[in-house]
């Protein structure tokens, strides 16, 4: 019997918090009104937002140096949906899941779809996997050791295309309408492969995939500078990704994983460029200090994340544009659900802060070449404590004022660990 977190349970657990919350909210409402901001419009915009949970991040992540499972991990895709339903009950902002095949390989897609619908969870972009050899994706005699769509062997490329088409077919059965393709393809040694021929093979493969898309579907290409390839990666940066998207076709856009940029890259400018040419397809939100660390969203560079979300609000003319928002994180030390709760809360807070930027005054300061004033306008928003607004948006969505504390009060992890076992291990990273 799956463990559920209900709105009634949340209201009961948080009953004693409502009065203080209302006082904080009223006080903030007055301060914002003084700045000409209508708190209710910010609250409804935060209410409207949802970010997909990654199915591959409901278990404990690890590195080549070790993995420390916390127990009670979801053993099936259904149990991952149970955990995402618990997450969504607390945040009101994780109404979709992004599956990764073959880490998720349902025997009965129709049954899985029905299970998800009962939980109120829908399927966002599907992810293919041609970066690991797996009987179900490679079959015998084929390996992705030296790449997939970039491989010099046409049989390997053919196999990789077949896998991607199979993921699309599964997505159609589940009600998804997008495929994300991240390729590990690259080299570890100078001279190992020809950059141009590798790139052209991938470009042609993605065009073939694009042309095979069902009606209403889109293709997302995800760039990454290195890992697992450590000398060159075919789709290494936003420029390569844009070239691949333009070559593949109109329904191909670029997915920006925040951890897939070299140190000090100006990610907010990358977002602005891709949005400007209509090729910004979506995000994998996370944070990182050094490499693709997949840490909790906004936990290392909260101001950079604010500047990225502000670019989105600018592109959306005062609202979050309709691109695909997904979290892609790996939890080596934290409870996976708690990490996703914190990440989602951070995204909600950052959206509220970005909505507080006085866009007209900023435009004036920019046109007047007044960098100090421009920065003051950004800081006014970034330094605003918007937590009462975000808590209220969750409360109006029937979710929690304090999702992390309330998650712990429900005893959810203890109950699922009792049901699933200490040694229950999830598929994924
Ligand atoms: C690659 C990546 C990609 C996924 C994988 C789980 O680093 O970001 O989005 O396929 O992580
Ligand atoms: Mn990613």
Tell me the pLDDT tens digit for each residue of 265-293. 999 999 999 999 999 999 999 999 999 99
Predicted confidence at residue 137, as pLDDT, reads 73
Report CA(255)–ligand 1 centroid distance (Å).
Answer: 11
Tell me the pLDDT tens digit for each residue of 290-333. 999 999 999 999 999 999 999 999 999 999 999 999 999 999 99
Q: Mutation test of ligand 1: which of 56, 128, 229, 328 has the most ligand atoms closer than 8 Å to its C-beta? A: 328
* pLDDT greater than 80 at residue 1: no
Residue having the nearest C-alpha atom to atom 11 of ligand 1: 328
Residue having the nearest C-alpha atom to atom 10 of ligand 1: 182
Report CA(159)–ligand 2 centroid distance (Å).
Answer: 22
Residues of the chain with pLDDT > 70: what percent? 99
Report CA(126)–ligand 1 centroid distance (Å).
Answer: 12
Please tell me the distance from the alpha carbon of residue 358 to that of residue 313, in angstroms, as a whole number. Answer: 11
Report CA(184)–ligand 1 centroid distance (Å).
Answer: 9
For residue 224 and ligand 1, the question of a CB distance below 6 A is answered with: yes
Q: Mutation test of ligand 1: which of 257, 286, 293 has the most ligand atoms closer than 8 Å to its C-beta? A: 257
For residue 73 and ligand 1, the question of a CB distance below 6 A is answered with: no
Ligand 1 atom at shortest distance from the alpha carbon of 259: 8
Phi, psi at 257, each rounded to 5°: -90, 120
Report CA(36)–ligand 1 centroid distance (Å).
Answer: 42
Report CA(328)–ligand 1 centroid distance (Å).
Answer: 7
Tell me the pLDDT tens digit for each residue of 220-237. 999 999 999 999 999 999
For residue 182 and ligand 1, the question of a CB distance below 6 A is answered with: yes
Mean pLDDT, the chain, as a whole number? Answer: 97
Q: Over the range 9-25, which residues count as b (16 or more CB within 10 Å of their CB) and which as e?
A: ebeebbeebeeebeebb
Report CA(182)–ligand 1 centroid distance (Å).
Answer: 6
Please tell me the distance from the alpha carbon of residue 187 to that of residue 226, in angstroms, as a whole number. Answer: 10
Q: Mutation test of ligand 1: which of 233, 284, 427 has the most ligand atoms closer than 8 Å to its C-beta? A: 284
- β-partners of residue 218 are 178
Residue having the nearest C-alpha atom to atom 3 of ligand 1: 182
Please tell me the distance from the alpha carbon of residue 167 to that of residue 144, in angstroms, as a whole number. Answer: 17
**Ligand of minimum distance to the alpha carbon of 284:** 2
Predicted confidence at residue 59, as pLDDT, reads 95
**Ligand of minimum distance to the alpha carbon of 283:** 2
HEC string for the chain: CCCCCCHHHHHHHHHHHHHHHHHHHHHHHHHHHHCCCCHHHHHHHHHHCCCEEEHHHCCCCEECCEECCCCCCCCCHHHHHHHHHHHHHHHCCCCEEECECCCCCCCCHHHHHHHHHHHCCEECCEECCCCCCCHHHHCCCCCCCCCCCCCCCHHHHHHHHHHHHHHHHHHHHHCCCEEEEECCCEECCCCCCCHHHHHHHHHHHHHHHHHCCCCCCEEEEECCCCCCCCCEECCCCHHHHHHHHHHHCCCEEEEEECCCCCCCCCHHHHHHHHHHCCCEEEEEECECCCCCCCECCCCCCHHHHHHHHHHHHHHCCCCCCCCEEEECCCCCCCCHHHHHHHHHHHHHHHHHHHHCCCHHHHHHHHHCCCHHHHHHHHHHHHCCCCHHHHHHHHHHCCCCCCHHHHHHHHCHHHHHHHHHCCCCCCCCC
Start-to-end Cα distance in the chain: 26
pTM for this model (two decimals): 0.97
Q: Assess contact for 279 and 271: CB atoms under 8 A.
A: no
Ligand 1 atom at shortest distance from the alpha carbon of 129: 10
Residues of the chain with pLDDT > 90: what percent? 95
* pLDDT greater than 80 at residue 139: no
For residue 261 and ligand 1, the question of a CB distance below 6 A is answered with: no
* Residue 145: exposure state from Cβ atoms within 10 A (0-12, 13-18, ≥19): exposed
Q: Assess contact for 52 and 93: CB atoms under 8 A.
A: no
Q: Assess contact for 222 and 260: CB atoms under 8 A.
A: yes
Residue having the nearest C-alpha atom to atom 9 of ligand 1: 182
Tell me the pLDDT tens digit for each residue of 332-389. 999 999 999 999 999 999 999 999 999 999 999 999 999 999 999 999 999 999 999 9
């Amino acid at each position: 019997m799956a463990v559920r977190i209900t709105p009634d349970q949340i209201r009961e657990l948080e009953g004693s918090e409502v009065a203080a919350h209302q006082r904080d909210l009223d006080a903030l409402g007055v301060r914002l009104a003084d700045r000409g901001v209508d708190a209710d419009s910010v609250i409804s915009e935060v209410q409207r937002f949802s970010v997909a949970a990654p199915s591959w991040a409901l278990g404990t992540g690890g590195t080549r140096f070790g993995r420390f499972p916390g127990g009670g991990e979801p053993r099936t895709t259904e149990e991952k949906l149970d955990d995402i339903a618990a997450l969504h009950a607390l945040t009101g902002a994780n109404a979709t899941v992004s599956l990764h095949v073959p880490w998720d390989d349902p025997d009965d897609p129709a049954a899985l779809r029905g299970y998800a619908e009962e939980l109120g969870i829908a399927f966002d972009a599907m992810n293919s996997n041609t970066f690991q050899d797996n009987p179900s994706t490679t079959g015998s005699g084929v390996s992705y050791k030296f790449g997939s769509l970039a491989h010099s062997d046409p049989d390997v490329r053919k196999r990789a295309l077949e896998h991607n088409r199979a993921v699309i077919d599964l997505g159609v059965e589940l009600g998804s309408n997008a495929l994300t393709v991240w390729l590990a393809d690259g080299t570890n040694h100078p001279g190992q492969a020809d950059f141009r021929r590798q790139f052209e093979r991938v470009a042609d493969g993605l065009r073939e995939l694009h042309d095979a898309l069902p009606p209403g579907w889109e293709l997302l290409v995800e760039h990454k500078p290195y890992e697992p390839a450590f000398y060159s990666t075919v789709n290494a940066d936003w420029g390569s990704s844009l070239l691949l998207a333009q070559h593949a076709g109109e329904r191909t856009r670029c997915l920006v994983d925040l951890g897939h940029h070299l140190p000090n890259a100006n990610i907010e400018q990358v977002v602005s460029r891709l949005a400007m040419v209509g090729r910004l397809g979506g995000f994998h939100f996370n944070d990182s200090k050094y490499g693709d660390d997949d840490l909790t969203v906004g936990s290392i560079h909260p101001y950079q994340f604010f500047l990225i979300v502000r670019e989105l609000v600018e592109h959306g003319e005062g609202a979050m544009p309709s691109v695909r928002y997904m979290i892609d994180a790996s939890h080596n030390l934290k409870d996976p659900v708690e990490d996703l709760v914190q990440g989602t809360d951070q995204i909600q807070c950052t959206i509220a802060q970005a909505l507080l930027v006085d866009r007209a005054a900023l435009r004036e300061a920019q046109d007047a070449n007044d960098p100090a004033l421009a920065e003051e306008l950004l800081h006014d928003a970034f330094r605003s404590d918007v937590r009462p607004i975000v808590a209220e948006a969750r409360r109006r969505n029937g979710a929690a004022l304090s999702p992390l504390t309330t998650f712990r009060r429900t005893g959810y992890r203890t109950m699922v660990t009792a049901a699933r076992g200490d040694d229950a291990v999830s598929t994924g990273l």
